[in-house]
Amino acid sequence: MTRVISGAVLIALTVALVWFASPLAFESFAIVVGLLAVWELVRLVRVAPAILIALVYIALPLAALVQIRLIAGPEAVFLVMLTIMISDTAQFYTGRAFGRRPLAPAVSPKKTIEGAIGGFVFGTVALVVIGAWWAPQLRIATRVVLGLAIVALGIGGDLFESFLKRRAGVKDSSALIPGHGGVLDRIDALLFAAPLYYLVLKYAE
């Protein structure tokens, strides 16, 4: 029940801030999320260059999200979030139903190749279909390639954080979100995908 309640609160807060908040409020939200994520990263890595790592791993992607909202609107932010969420959900259920071959057993034993394939299929379809309304400036071929890239980067982000947690000997990045772990556990895929997504929205015809 705690997981359900905290998840519902998290979704409601995210929707309110992404869709309805002023630019300043959204930027402030991104800064708070970034600071919490940096705190978690420092606890996981425990090395001197952790802050420098955080600038690339956390600050730049969150800055990209702020810019995405400014240049393409809140719907563009939701598009990448939904793509990742649908891909993650598809990976879980496809992997549970059909998973046989581990994807990266040394880092994340439960992830499977079959689950990843499901994530690629459903995540890409989601971006192509929903993107017809929320990113109409992108041609369908661009949306297909972008969908595949976002899913791939999302998987990479998840595996990277799993690697950090395994090195630190912990299950979650923190216990800030009851039933869901820490901030990094929620945004690891988004951090890897956001910079490319921003570049495509800014420069693609």
> Which ranges of the chain have pLDDT less than 70?
1-4, 7, 47-51, 205
Short-list 157, 168, 158, 163, CA closest to 46: 168
pLDDT in the model for residue 128: 98
Do residues 57 and 191 touch, judged by C-beta distance below 8 A?
A: yes
pTM passes above 0.85: yes
User: For residue range 152-185, what is the model confidence (pLDDT) as tens digits?
Assistant: 999 999 999 999 888 888 887 877 777 777 899 9
Confidence at residue 12, expressed as pLDDT on a 0 to 100 scale: 87
State how far the Cα of 154 lies from the Cα of 187, in Å rounded to an integer: 9
> How many Å apart are CA 97 and CA 54, to the nearest integer?
36
pLDDT recorded at residue 34: 93
The predicted structure's pLDDT at residue 155: 97
Give the integer Cα–Cα distance in Å for 140 and 128: 7
Angle at 27 between CA 131 and CA 13, to 5 degrees: 70
